[in-house]
Amino acid sequence: MSEYRRRSRRAVLAAVGAAAGSLSLSGCVDPDSEWVAADVPTDATLHDVAATADGAYAIGEDGIVLARDDGEWTVRLENGIGSAGDGLRSAAVTSNGRAMWVAGDSGALGLYDVVADRVADFSAPREKTTSWTAIAAAGLAGDERLTVINSSGELLRGRRDGADVAWGDVTKPGSGSSVADIDLTPLAYGYVVDTDGGVFESRDGGVSWSRIGIENAAVDFGAVAATDSGHVTVAGGNGVLYRYNGVGWSRTTLGEQPIAALARDRDDALAVSSSGTIYERGFDGWSRLTRLEAGNELLSVALGTARTPQLVVGESGTVFERRY
């Protein structure tokens, strides 16, 4: 039995909470700080960006993995997991920030240990070689829970135990449409959204799913971010956001362009439209920050931490940083 499995539930929760606190400092960002374009050593499309205990990482086309170190971006992996060159679509970080999971084309799936600078290839679990479109992780590195979804709307959950991952059965939580995004909370709650206005919740780590909304949404959802069962936000077409408080949904509209990406902690959130408009939620609700003159479609956003600024990435190696 691993060290983490021997801990009491209270100790695990305390450790997760402490780690989450160290990785989230979005409330400390100066509201007047500027977004600036970063110099990166690639023109590949960057599909996702994540903050870890070792700083920020971006992943994308042909399996490229970029790392931000002392304010400079460098190539950490050029050809992805197993040097196969399969594109990477999604990244997820453990609750203590020590491990980053990545998933993408042709069943590409792997672990990057940011502390040890080591890669482990877990591609094609359950012999699934379809493209993974999103991955979520929760828990401490070495004992984390994983959930991945593919372009066929299938969901696969796993549990890591040291060097191994035990994979469960494949399920299909969506309403028949494509499942677009997924998020996990520290206490085993899971949320997925589909392209037919559906939001689904799991209270048992992804074993079973039930639909919790959204009636008459008339929106293709593309992003979900959750911190617990009472703090869930989903976003999609027409600039629409819905917020779930554990009982019901409230609706907000941010502009007219589709929301391409969403990130949040318990108190703060960022959203970015595909055309480059950045929105921020604080104590008084949502406000428009700025419109980035990207010239390329934006695809992912990340909150700032003690080691990283807030970040937006997209096509043609686009990276914007909100420095403070």
Rounded distance, CA 134 to CA 146, Å?
Answer: 11
More reliable by pLDDT, 95 or 175: 95
Q: Are 155 and 182 in contact (CB under 8 A)?
A: yes
More reliable by pLDDT, 226 or 177: 226
pLDDT tens digits, residue range 162-183? 999 999 999 988 766 789 999 9
Could you tell me which of 250, 259, 247, 315 has the C-alpha nearest to residue 285? 250
pLDDT tens digits, residue range 16-27? 343 444 444 444
The torsion angles phi and psi of 71, rounded to 5 degrees, stand at 85, -5
Q: According to the model, what pLDDT value does residue 86 have?
A: 97
Cα of first residue to Cα of last residue in the chain, in angstroms, is 43
The least confident of 133-137, 147-151, 174-178, 184-188 is 174-178
Answer yes or no: is pLDDT of 261 > 80. yes
Kindly state the tokens that stand for 213.
């909304």
The least confident of 23-27, 36-40, 152-156 is 23-27
Chain centre to alpha carbon of residue 319: 16
Q: According to the model, what pLDDT value does residue 136 have?
A: 97
Q: According to the model, what pLDDT value does residue 30 have?
A: 61
Q: Which fold has domain 3-322?
A: Methylamine Dehydrogenase; Chain H (2.130.10)
pTM: 0.89
Q: Hey, where are the domains in the chain?
A: 3-322
Q: According to the model, what pLDDT value does residue 151 have?
A: 81
Identify the band that residue 8 occupies on the pLDDT scale cut at 50, 70 and 90.
very low
Report the pLDDT averaged over residues 28-48: 87
* Sheet of strand 240-244: strand arrangement: 221-228, 231-236, 240-244, 249-253
Q: According to the model, what pLDDT value does residue 174 have?
A: 76
Identify the band that residue 211 occupies on the pLDDT scale cut at 50, 70 and 90.
very high
More reliable by pLDDT, 27 or 199: 199
Answer yes or no: is pLDDT of 89 > 70. yes
